[in-house]
Amino acid sequence: MKPAARHRVRTGLRVVERFFAIVGVCALIYHLFFDFGVMVSSSMSPALQGDNALTGDRVIFEKWTGLFRAPQRWEIHQFHTPEGLTVAKRVIGLPGERVSLRKGLLCINGSPVAVPERLKHLRYLPSGNLSKDREVECGTGYYVLGDDSRDSWDSRYEGVLAADRFTGRAWLILGPRSHWGFVR
């Protein structure tokens, strides 16, 4: 083989080698710090929308903040149900708190909680363990609710979640294009 042809082959192999190295590093970063999900239920509507895998929001969940801090109230987190389903719900109650619904108001430790302006539209229904003005102790876990509480299988029925059940915080909606942006 001529030296010029040998040089082209070596250069081509280096390009291929670097390409696969970059792909490998990107795959490692994705695996360690991110997860991808598709909303197949309207339980988190309007924040995250979808009724099936074809039309649901495509959401990136980030895992890195879970390494440095606990989930915060009003954030949407992903977790697995005992049946193995991956779902996303909004964190309402934190460890050591008591959650209740009184006259349509969400209460923490018996007092109405201040809801961020962007979430003033949310109305939680008193059902499951929050019916009849009952109060739920979070203990060492977290109380989560779906934004559309008419269609949400959440802590009202499953109870509080241990911190180690969370797998990521909803971070970015990739599609459809009309919903693109950071999760609020």
Hey, which residues does 124 pair with through a beta bridge?
none
Q: Can you read off the two tokens belonging to residue 13?
A: 């192999």
- Per-residue pLDDT tens over the stretch 40-57: 888 998 889 988 888 899
Helix (H, G, I), strand (E, B) or coil at 55: coil
This prediction's pTM? 0.86
Q: Can you read off the two tokens belonging to residue 77?
A: 């987190």
Summarize the confidence of residues 137-152 as an average pLDDT: 92
Please determine, for residue 68, whether its predicted confidence score (pLDDT) is greater than 80. Answer: yes
Running DSSP on this structure, what letter comes out for residue 132? G
Q: Can you read off the two tokens belonging to residue 26?
A: 């990107």
Summarize the confidence of residues 88-105 as an average pLDDT: 94
- Give the pLDDT of residue 104: 84
Under 8 Å CB-to-CB from 85, ≥6 apart: which residues?
none
Residue whose token pair is 């509480």: 149
Summarize the confidence of residues 26-49 as an average pLDDT: 90
